[in-house]
Amino acid sequence: MAEDLRAWLERMEKEGELKKLDGVSWDLEIGTITALNTRRDSPAVLFDNIPGHPPGHRVLTGSILTPRRVALTLGLPADVPENEMIAAAKKKVKGWLDNLDKFKPREVREGPVMQNVQKGDKINILQFPSPKWHKKDGGRYIGTGHCLVTRDPETGDVNLGTYRVMVQDEKTLGFHISPGKHGRIHFEKYHARGEKAPILVSVGHHPHYFAAGTLSLPHGAEYNYLGAMKNEPSEVITEEVTGLPMPADSEIVFAGFCPPDKTRAEGPFGEYTGYYASGERQNPIIEVERVYFRNNPIIHGAPPSRPPYNGSYYLTLIGSILIELELAKLGVPDVKGVWTHEICSSYFVAISLKQRFAGHPKQAALYASEISARGGMGGRYVVVVDEDIDPTDIKQVLWAMCTRSDPEKDLDIIRRTRSSPLDPIIKKPAAGLFSSRAFIDATKPWEWRDQFPEVVEIDQEMAAIVRKKFGKELKL
């Protein structure tokens, strides 16, 4: 049996990576602690005995916040140096994507999620300690580190996507999905036929589910990707009212339908850009018909906010690898690394490459900009640097930008490209969600790259000598 959330928590506790807190209120207290607890060495926190809720109904935050817990979750040693973690993760992700076909989810009849099944009058979403995370949020958000399971009514493909979920009332959830995302395409197809769309919402599970739900993966690939990550197919139970595959080891799952003709006010919500940019709007709802949960269920909370936030490092790591793998597939040669800085999510992309031909940096920038915009507003600034620059080091990237690019020649702007309702720079309401992109070619100019001024490097032999002599005193 693959590791579930409970086994993951035990492992983290043994590693000294988990703190338990009692008596913290769902009303801004959990959210504020979560927002303050975002250092690179912050523990994950499991909140219990939340006032107004039964003891044992818990909320976890900070699960994959830090490089240490990301490494442990990926099955690497906690202390692995960052460059080794990136290299190891690249190999793993490539292996997972190459083997998706081998990990079709496996149907089972039983699982921990079936310990409690509620229907009809018994359904009360308010029994769970959904936090109000940020001060100006329009309500309590039960879905932040969760995923929605939907099906494409034409192809049958099943998608897992993390799209925020607000509690509307005892039996109703509200949600927001930006245009073009898989879950939205699915419910819009049902609605176009005049039908209600079946939806599952899993709000507690192993952090892998959150990872699969937030990454831009090929359409319908998430369940297989999850299986590949665990090296064993995901176990799913065919949910009774929706017929959708439900994760057997989930902590809490809501099953219901999204009607074509009803919306409710949803938002504002503290979003991953660090703003309440999409405000309050009419958004679709889910009328819940079944609730499934484990005894003493745990909500996996991962509220976005002004970065860094839970998952922002993990998503940068894997998101950057996905871009690099795709560039290779598209035939862009000699890319040494891609990094979409944690603070700017996918709207700042740095690419390091060894120039092979005239126009090579621009080719990489064009492709990477659009690949990273799959989540809506990505690839706003793409900076291409030479192979001697480490793209994960923002200081090196800035240095290259300021010394190897000339704005007049090396800055390109592409106008009226895709964006999203969450884009703070678009004034709403807007007739079209457009923004623009800027590419900065910070590689040495192709025509005279061999005559470009030499970089002042430390002589490594001399460095070894002075370290030996004076290294201790100066920590050289």
Is-contact 245 158, C-beta < 8 A? Answer: yes
Q: In Å, how far from its chain's centre is CA 368?
A: 18
Binding residues (CB under 6 A) for ligand FMN: these are 144, 159, 161-164, 176-178, 181-183, 213-216, 272, 302, 304, 311, 315, 375
CA gap 9, 3 in Å, rounded: 10
Closest separation in Å from C-beta 276 to ligand FMN = 12
- Which of residues 420 and 443 has its CB atom nearest to ligand FMN in the complex? 420
Instruction: Return the number of other C-beta atoms located less than 10 Å from residue 166's C-beta.
Output: 25
β pairing state of 165-169 and 172-175 = antiparallel
* 159 binds Mn ion per the rule CB under 5 A: yes
Quick one: which of 57, 182, 196, 404 contacts Mn ion (CB under 5 A)? 182
List the beta bridge partners of residue 290: 119, 255
Q: Which stretch binds Mn ion (CB under 5 A): 20-28, 124-132, 176-184, 205-213?
A: 176-184
- Which of residues 137 and 326 has its CB atom nearest to Mn ion in the complex? 326
**Taking CB within 5 to 8 Å according to partner kind, which of ligand FMN, Mn ion, none is near residue 162?**
ligand FMN
Identity (one letter) of the amino acid at 150? T
**Taking CB within 5 to 8 Å according to partner kind, which of ligand FMN, Mn ion, none is near residue 163?**
ligand FMN
Give the residue from 141, 180, 362 showing the smallest Cα distance to 271. Answer: 141
- Which of residues 233 and 311 has its CB atom nearest to ligand FMN in the complex? 311
Closest separation in Å from C-beta 67 to ligand FMN = 17
Closest separation in Å from C-beta 73 to ligand FMN = 15
Q: Do you know the residue count of the chain?
A: 476
**Taking CB within 5 to 8 Å according to partner kind, which of ligand FMN, Mn ion, none is near residue 304?**
ligand FMN
Closest separation in Å from C-beta 293 to ligand FMN = 22
β pairing state of 281-293 and 252-258 = antiparallel
User: Strand ranges (DSSP E) for 85-179?
Assistant: 106-107, 116-119, 141-143, 147-151, 158-161, 165-169, 172-175
Tokens linked to 157? 């493909």
347-385 core/surface letters (b: 16 or more CB in 10 A; e: else): bbbbbbbebeeeebbbbbbbbbbbbbbbbbbbbbbbbbb
- Which of residues 162 and 355 has its CB atom nearest to ligand FMN in the complex? 162
CA gap 110, 130 in Å, rounded: 26
**Taking CB within 5 to 8 Å according to partner kind, which of Mn ion, ligand FMN, none is near residue 256?**
none
List the beta bridge partners of residue 414: 437
Closest separation in Å from C-beta 186 to Mn ion = 10
Residue for token pair 């819940």? 288
**Taking CB within 5 to 8 Å according to partner kind, which of Mn ion, ligand FMN, none is near residue 375?**
ligand FMN
Closest separation in Å from C-beta 89 to Mn ion = 20
- Which of residues 114 and 185 has its CB atom nearest to ligand FMN in the complex? 185
**Taking CB within 5 to 8 Å according to partner kind, which of ligand FMN, Mn ion, none is near residue 214?**
ligand FMN
Closest separation in Å from C-beta 436 to ligand FMN = 20
Q: What residues make contact with Mn ion under the rule CB under 5 A?
A: 159, 182
